[in-house]
Amino acid sequence: MKFRSLTINDLVLYRDDIKICYKDNPQVFDMQSTIDPKNFQDTEDTLVYFVQSDDCCIDGIFDDEEDYLFGIIVYEDIRLTDDGNASQVHICVSKDIWGKDFLPIFKRALDESIFDITYAIIPSCCRGAITLCKKLGFKKTGYIPKVIPYKTLKGETKMFDKFIYCYEKENILTNVSKIS
């Protein structure tokens, strides 16, 4: 597998693959999101914004021949300074690679990104996303209590906590000074 930045043309070319990723991850949007997960045009419009925006970008995760897009990594709220770089991240992958050893490609994408800090804000009911973050090396740094509505398995609407997970790249210069 490999990854690379997505273009507007990619959003058209891999439309069906992207649609599958979102279909396989229904909890990506909460119940009161302005994006309607049943209306894929809403999702497409948002992805076009992410590709064209100055403070967002999207990487695609592909098979080696780029015949199939397995998932996307959205970097949002990008902040770049002399003191460091940061971004919020959203990962959405197709069930086709769930349970397979796809973690190394996501880890490599995070490590090769320009961001010193990458953070995810995840509803406490999204266990798969939490597990993925932990396996990638994200650390839980906090939470916001009862701020996001989701339906329970019983069909009841309840407010859930949002967990904050951070991935901090090791600074090569810091490591060199520790060795000296």
120: Cβ contacts below 8 Å, ≥ 6 apart: 88, 89, 90, 91, 129, 133, 138, 164, 165, 166, 167
Q: Does residue 163 contact residue 131 with C-beta atoms inside 8 Å?
A: no
Residue range 1-5: mean pLDDT, rounded:
94
Fold of 2-119: Aminopeptidase (3.40.630)
Which of 17-31, 130-144, 157-171 is the least confident region? 17-31
Residue 98: pLDDT above 80?
no
| Calpha distance 59→43 (Å, rounded) | 16
Residue 90: pLDDT above 50?
yes
- Higher-confidence position of 153 and 10: 10
Q: Which of 104, 119, 122 is nearest to 169 (CA)?
A: 119
pLDDT value of position 175: 42
* Mean residue pLDDT across the chain: 88
pLDDT value of position 37: 62
Residue 154: pLDDT above 50?
yes
Residue range 118-136: mean pLDDT, rounded:
93
Q: Which of 100, 104, 105 is nearest to 72 (CA)?
A: 105
pLDDT value of position 179: 46
Residue 119: pLDDT above 80?
yes
pLDDT range class, residue 86, cuts 50, 70, 90: very high
Residue 75: pLDDT above 50?
yes
Neighbours of 171 (CB within 10 A): 12
Amino acid at 136: L
Which of 26-35, 50-59, 88-97 is the least confident region? 26-35
The whole-model pTM stands at: 0.86
